[in-house]
Structure 1
Amino acid sequence: MPPRKKPPAKSKFQARKNADPKVHLAPYLNYLEAECGMAHNTLSAYRSDIVQFLDWYCKQKPRAFSDVDLKFLSKYLQHLNKRKLAATTIARHLASIKLFFRYLVLEGILAESVADLVNSPKLWNYLPKVISPEKVNELLMAPCKRDRYPLRDRAILAMMYATGCRVSEVVNLPLSAIKLEEGYARCIGKGNKERIVSLNPVAVAAVEAYLNHERPHMIKRNQAEQSLFLNRGGKQLSRIMVWNIVKKNAARIGCSKEVSPHTLRHSFATHMMAGGAEIRALQELLGHANIRTTQVYTHVDHSRLKAVHQMYHPRG
């Protein structure tokens, strides 16, 4: 009998085609953290989106990533629609998938990304909810003696409104980042980008009162903690705790249940626009990477538009 021919060895590309698609998950997340500099919360969101996509992917007919086409990805978007997810959530899922496929291209696993050809669902332009300057003043005074740490709670509220910081940026502030005499703080935003935020006199006074009267007692339980805002155990305050502080004090002054820490950020931006702030300056203060994110506040400030109309229109 003639000698039996050996089957040709699988190429590197064929081996990749037959590999478990989830083997790319860990390297992809490392890429987002190490090379893209994503913040922890953003990284968690992207991880959740891709895990859901890969779980669904593995339940479909086996195919290589190189065989994925528009029809296949559209089927996944239909799957998300059937779950009755909001358009904004579906758009975020799609953004996560697009970045994942771009990573596969960078790694040489794919020649090109078909995901970039998929259109995001159209989104309504939801206007952010804000509260008036008068209500903000009431909110800052709402913490009282019934609270365990009223000075800390007031300092948090004053800091968030004075700077427009995200709640994650506030809880991650180290004590060394606060310069009360100079009236500013250094915060780390999305993508680990540092920016300077100004502290108004109200915020400076509130933080000073907290540092002088409450934090020294809290830090006794954990001398090594460097975070500015602490819980009763002397550890860094959590985002959930800040959420509860805002909700509790907003309810005291009769605000809507929809008021959240982000409402203070929206209110800061809207009131800045009403005061005449330039949109580029506001973009820097908020730490927005894209000016389009900041432009939403130009639609919110109806009072300023009305004043401009009255000032410059010949029949104003």
Structure 2
Amino acid sequence: MLNHIYLKEFGVYLKLERGFSQNSVDAYLNDVSKLTQFYEQLELSKSAKDITHQELVQFISWLNELGMLPGTQARVISGIKSYFGFLLIEELITADPTEDLEPPKLSRKLPDVLHLHEINQITAAIDLSKAEGIRSRAMLEVLYGCGLRVTEMISLRLSNLHVNEEYIKVLGKGNKERIVPIGTEALKHISIYVNEVRNKLTIKVGNEDFIFLNQKGSQISRISVFTMVKALASQAGITKSISPHTFRHSFATHLIEGGADLRAVQAMLGHVSITTTEVYTHLDNEYLQGMVKQYHPRS
């Protein structure tokens, strides 16, 4: 139904022009394949240029009947929109049937956020007499102090650390580079880790520039960071669902609570769309409501 040559070209477009990873490309192609399955189920054979808006509305209903969750439906529709957008750019179709196609409404779940005293509880649970404890403290200070994704943190390089200027270069999603300020507390603990722990490791070839290494001298893994955070939260008696990403959420929330500009927070987080960052304004509203309930005599 959907021309396989076009799909192959779509994959190349996503990888080379959009900078998507192979996993993301595969996910988009899988989303488009759902549309092929829909027409096969109807025993219809159509080329992309013959697909109508009304048929795509029926396609969304079909996804719903399959029991697909709204979030998954929205992702599939996003993939379909990207595919037809590509066909339009390449002038392989003359009109985009996905225009005005509405995805299901999503209820946005607010992420868990740590209060400052909870972050202090977690860092206090670290055994700084051990090498891994010194590394854990440095990593947590970077996660919370810079709002990085865990993949961004484990990929940090010594050459991306600008101590005198107090900023780091971060390679984010889609291989997009951004500049993020880094505070004195994070810099202090990185320095302690590098000088007291990292310098004593036998570093494997190809890992010389990564800041955070495992005991074997290789780049530390995502799983190791997740395990470390879960263990420390448990030791600190934190009952919330905690992951490395929780420190990123806390970074953004605390900035906005303190009056930081939303656009500045967006830039530091590396969000493409301001709407992604706006979730933290909802968190801020909850914080303000809490303050009124706690301190206002009429609440």
Q: Please give the TM-score of this superposition, normalised by the length of structure 1.
A: 0.80
Match of 2:171 in 1: 188
Q: Counterparts in 2 of 1:1-80, with a 5 A limit?
A: 21-38=3-20, 42-43=24-25, 45-54=27-36, 61=43, 62-80=45-63
Name whichever of 79-88 and 125-134 sits farther off. Answer: 79-88
User: How many residues align structurally?
Assistant: 295
**Structure 1 segment 143-182 matched on structure 2, within 5 A:** 143-144=126-127, 149-182=132-165
Go from structure 1 to structure 2 and tell me whether the alpha carbon gap of 1:210 and 1:282 turns closer, same or farther (over 3 Å shift). Answer: same
Residue identity matched to 1:33: K
Compute the displacement of 1:257 (Å).
5.5
User: How many angstroms apart in 2 are the aligned matches of 1:194 and 1:141?
Assistant: 33
Change (3 A) 1:79 1:258: farther
Query: Aligned with 1:118: secondary structure?
Result: coil
Offset of residue 79 of structure 1: 4.2
Distance in 1 (alpha carbons) for counterparts of 2:211 and 2:48: 46
Specify the SS of the correspondent of 2:168.
Answer: strand
Q: Contact conserved, 2:226 with 2:243, CA < 8 A, in 1? A: yes
- 1:5 alignment counterpart: none
Q: Counterparts in 2 of 1:211-290, with a 5 A limit?
A: 211-222=194-205, 224-256=207-239, 258-290=241-273
2:128 and 2:134 in contact (8 A); partners too: no
| Structure 1 residues 235 and 43: CA distance shift in structure 2, 3 A | farther
Q: Percent identity?
A: 35
Assess if the C-alpha contact under 8 Å between 1:185 and 1:196 holds in 2: yes
Q: Whole-Å Cα distance in 2 between the matches of residues 236 and 299 of structure 1?
A: 36
Q: Does 1:88 align with 2:89?
A: no
Contact (CA 8 Å) 1:22, 1:54: kept in 2 or not?
no
Structure 2 residues without counterparts, runs of 5 or longer = none
SS of 2:98's equivalent in the other structure is: helix
Q: Does 1:138 align with 2:121?
A: yes
Shift of 1:39: 5.2
Q: 1:96 to 1:259 in 2, by over 3 A?
A: same
The letter for the 2-side match of 1:167 is V
Q: Contact 2:271–2:277 at 8 Å: present in 1 too?
A: yes
Q: Distance in 1 between matches of 2:129 and 2:51?
A: 59
- Report the RMSD for the aligned CA atoms in angstroms: 3.1
Give the conservation status (yes or no) of the 8 Å contact 1:251–1:257.
no
**In 2, Cα distance between the equivalents of 1:83 and 1:261?**
34
Select 1:111's aligned residue among 89, 94, 97.
94
